[in-house]
Amino acid sequence: MLERALSLLGVTGGELATYDESHKDLVIVSSHNLETNAVGTRMALGEGAMGRVAQTKQPLIIPRYQDWEGHSSKYERTTIQSVMAAPLLIGSRLVGAIASVHADNTREFGPEDLRLLQLFAPQAAVAIENARLYAAAQQHFELLVRNNPVAFVNLDLEHNITSCNPAFERLYGYSEAEVIGRNLDELVTSKETLADARAKTERAEMSGGAFSGTGRRCRKDGSVVDVEIFTIPVTVAGERVGMMALYHDVSELLAARREAEEANETKSRFLASTSHELRTPLNAIIGYSEMLQEQAEEEGHTGYLADLGKIHSAGRHLLSVINDILDLSKIEAGKMELFLETFELRTVVDDVATTVRPLVAQHDNKLEVRASPDLGTMHADVTRLRQVLLNLLSNASKFTEHGVITLAVERAGDEMVFRVRDTGIGMSQEQMGRLFEAFAQAEASTASKYGGTGLGLAISRKFCRMMGGDVTVDSVPGQGSTFTVRLPSAAAPAAEQTSWPAAAGGGAHAGLVLVVDDDPGMRNLLGRFLSREGFRVETAADGAAGLRRARELHPDVITLDVLMPELDGWSVLTALKSEPGLADIPVVMLTVVDDKPMGFALGVSEYLTKPIDRKRLAAVLGKFTSAGVGAEGKNGRSVLLVEDDAATSKQLQRALEKQGWNVATAANGRIALERVAERLPSLILLDLMMPEMDGFEFLEELRQRPDASGIPVVVITAKDLTAEDRQRLNGGVARVVNKRGRGPEALLADVRSMIAGRASAR
């Protein structure tokens, strides 16, 4: 760069310095044709010609350097006659300085020289800056890889290791020197896992995109480690140069999860057995005290009655506490199951009223039940409903004296509304805020005065929500409280909303979308969102349910989560595509794992990665529901697939069939010619490298047939074509598709455009 500048200026020599931000000085990085080579010398701002221009940020011409007052004592350069220097700036930021020198005293720098230098300076400044940024990025990357706890390994096209980082050395116990040149799959696998490793590498290879999965790999010492694996094909300027593999040790994570699951299991068992152990003696306490009360009353020992009553009620209280804690822990562990049944509501209301009446009467309260005799039936968990109502009524009687407690029940549309109103002490806003939290009574002192665990309301709310409803409170201090329970008159079995109507005013798609996702949050989110967008939505919580629902509903579109327990998204997809009635339903995969090619190969119509971009989702679904799927006729689209590799052939065949193609296959050129003779396809997909008769020979033969010469041929090839190959193919082939690094997706796009082009040409 310096040389170019100097020859441009036609000068003897010169120097280039870069500005060191951290030392606030210049470092000479290049020197040309000067009597002393000063590369590496540091110059303070203001020192010498370059120091001066760096400081002033102005160019400078020094006609007679030896006489110049700023003449640097650092080097005695007697031959230097005149000097021209300029700062290198990006905007106003200093990145370096350049100096040019005449050793010949007959020549001096003039304004034209200065103009030239100033033309060159910005380019030099940018070049220096780029070099610096590149070095910084390089260093950054190096640091990142060297210090990364994730094991990195680089591979060439044959999957031999070209480099690895220290984390890789630590994970597998090999030094970098030991692994260079070794085949990765053979290095880190045992006999059992080699096939798995090869399959993963192959898949990454086929898909051309990043691929992730988990597996077990082998260390140098033979021990086994659970790893999360990412394989990333590396492409530079459109050409595959190798692959990168990342390993993340997840053995500890897996062990921790196993431990946590075991601990949780232990906790559940402990709770179950403890509750049993506590209940058995409690039953005796409650039973015998009750019995003694009866006996004392009958036999006239009335003096004992009060004390026996205390034992009995303390026992009952303890039992209710144990039951509450057990309920709550079951709910929180997700183990509480609803037992839904259809029952006569009026009977339950009367039963609850009868049970609670003695309690209400304790504080001289009156119980009023307001419910029409023909409330009809309700579908819910009757035990839990009874528990909720008893809890609210017993709270009301606890906090009310000489008052009225009302239980009002009415039907409001699809809901049943239960109101428990009291004329008791009421609550402040602040007290109401914490009311439904576990272990949080309105005031700490409340427990001692009124008793109770503070769990009842928390449990009641959870039960209501499990049944698809809720409980709310409204209160005025000193005047009383009203608790309102709203429950769907027919609770859904999953205790969550499983379908959404299309919102009025949303888009006019009106299509039915089936959302299959194991995450209730996701189902809810998609359900709400899509219904707002004008879709009707049904949901399924697992793969099996998804298939069942798909058969029942025949939705316009299915969204499918990839990662689900039991039956994962891919399996569901495969099942969907193999059922005649369901195969045509467009499926949108939702996933955190980017595995597009796999999806398309299996017949996915569209593909979205999580987190979901809502706009895109709506657009994709809209496309399928409004435009009508596969409206362009699928009939008569036949393709002949000529490929010797059975796996590739199978995969492509499936992919094409899912796209509505009639596929004939041939394993070599000779068979392919027979197929063509049997029936003319509308398109031929052709592998070049095949036994018996290769692609080239086949093409030559094909073109001899007048009826077949017009068939478009798409070449699929793993080899890079030579000029000679191209020559041979010229005219005979519509498009060459490179197999390596391109998935079926690209191939399908080619095929589609080919047919479209052909149709319009006719």
Partner 1 sequence: MARILLVEDNEMNRDMLSRRLERKGFEVKMAVDGRQGVEMARAGGYDLILMDMSLPEIDGWEATRQLREAPETKTVPIIALTAHAMAGDRDRALEVGCNDYDTKPIELTRLLGKIEALLGGKTGT
Residues at the site binding partner 1, with contacts judged by CB under 8 A: 275-276, 279-280, 282-284, 286-288, 290-291, 294-295, 298, 319, 337-339, 341, 381, 383
CB nearer to partner 1: pick between 222 and 339: 339
Q: What is the smallest separation between the CB atom of 280 and partner 1, expressed in angstroms?
A: 7
Whether the CB-CB separation of 129 and 90 falls below 8 Å is answered with yes
CB of 275 to partner 1, least distance (A): 8
Tell the smallest beta-carbon distance from residue 406 to partner 1 (Å): 25
Residue 712 identity: P
Shortest reach from residue 291's CB to partner 1, in Å: 5
Q: Return d(Cα 762, Cα 751) in angstroms, integer.
A: 17
φ/ψ of residue 511, rounded to 5: -80, 160
What SS3 state is found at 10?
coil
The HSE-up count of residue 393 (CA atoms within 13 Å, CB side) is: 29
Least separation in angstroms between CB 469 and partner 1: 18
* Residue with Cβ nearer partner 1 (275 or 571): 275
The smaller minimum CB distance to partner 1, of residues 381 and 422, is found at 381
DSSP for 266-329, written as a single string: HHHHHHHHHHHHHHHHHHHHHHHHHHHHHHHHHTT-GGGHHHHHHHHHHHHHHHHHHHHHHHHH
Q: How many CA atoms does the CB half-sphere of 656 hold within 13 Å?
A: 23
**Which residue's entry shows tokens 């069942």?**
548
**Alpha-carbon gap, residue 399 to 314, rounded angstroms:** 19
Residue with tokens 């709506």: 618
Residues, the chain: 762
CB of 387 to partner 1, least distance (A): 9
Contact between residue 399 and residue 478 where contact means Cβ atoms under 8 Å apart = no
Q: Whole-angstrom Cα distance, residue 563 to residue 549?
A: 19
- CA–CA distance from 324 to each of 269, 291, 453, 458 (Å)? 17, 25, 8, 10
Strands 587-591 and 606-609, by their bridges, are parallel
**Which tokens belong to 200?**
């993963």
Q: Mind spelling out the 3-state secondary structure of 355-391? A: HHHHHHHHCCCEEEEEECCCCCEEEECHHHHHHHHHH
Residue 607, strand partner residues: 589
For partner 1, give the closer residue by CB, 240 or 279. Answer: 279
Which runs of E-coded beta strand occur in 64-209? 82-90, 93-102, 151-155, 161-164
What's the closest the beta carbon of residue 522 comes to partner 1, in angstroms? Answer: 28
Least distance to partner 1, CB of residue 223, Å? 46
- DSSP-based three-state secondary structure for 158: coil
Nearer to partner 1, 160 or 329 (CB): 329
| 205: number of Cβ within 10 Å | 18
Question: Which is nearer to partner 1, 73 or 339 (by Cβ)?
Answer: 339
Contacts of 443 (CB under 8 A, 6+ apart): 431
CA distances from 644 to 268, 649, 664, 686, 694 (A): 57, 7, 13, 10, 10
- Our CB check for partner 1 shows the closer of 287 and 433 to be 287
Please write down the long-range contacts of 623-630, taking CB distance under 8 Å and 24 or more positions apart: 624/511, 624/556, 624/557, 624/586, 625/509, 625/510, 625/511, 625/513, 625/535, 625/556, 625/557, 626/508, 626/509, 626/511, 629/556, 629/584, 629/585, 629/586, 629/605, 630/584, 630/660
Nearer to partner 1, 196 or 290 (CB): 290
Of 466 and 672, which has the nearer Cβ to partner 1?
466
Q: Which is nearer to partner 1, 41 or 275 (CB)?
A: 275
Smallest gap from residue 286 Cβ to partner 1 (A): 5
- Which residue carries 């070095």 as its tokens? 135
d(CA 659, CA 576): 14
Q: Which is nearer to partner 1, 66 or 283 (CB)?
A: 283
Q: How far is the CB of 357 from partner 1 (least distance, A)?
A: 13
For partner 1, the closer of residues 63 and 309 by Cβ is 309
The beta-carbon contacts of 155-164 under 8 Å, at least 24 apart in sequence, are 155/184, 155/242, 155/243, 155/244, 155/245, 156/241, 156/242, 157/240, 157/241, 157/242, 157/243, 158/183, 159/183, 159/184, 159/185, 159/201, 159/243, 160/184, 161/187, 162/242
Q: Which is nearer to partner 1, 336 or 716 (CB)?
A: 336
Q: Look-up: residue for tokens 């004008």?
A: 534
Nearer to partner 1, 334 or 501 (CB): 334
Alpha carbons 761 and 360: distance in angstroms, whole number: 88
**Smallest distance, partner 1 to C-beta of residue 303, A:** 20
Q: Beta strands of 520-650 (E only): which ranges?
A: 536-540, 557-561, 587-591, 606-609, 638-642
Please say which residue, 272 or 522, places its beta carbon nearer to partner 1: 272
What is the nearest approach in angstroms of partner 1 to the Cβ of residue 511?
38
Question: In this structure, are residues 387 and 410 in contact, taking their beta carbons and an 8 Å threshold?
Answer: no
- Residues 428 and 405: beta-carbon distance below 8 Å: no
Residue closer to partner 1 by CB (options 280, 760) is: 280
CB atoms inside a 10 Å sphere around CB 92? 7
Nearer to partner 1, 343 or 450 (CB): 343
Least spacing, CB of residue 279 vs partner 1, in Å: 7
Residue 294 CB, shortest distance to partner 1, in Å, is: 7
CB of 353 to partner 1, least distance (A): 15
Give 136 or 291: the residue with its C-beta nearer to partner 1.
291
Phi, psi of 340 (to 5 degrees): -85, 135
Single-letter amino acid, residue 463: F
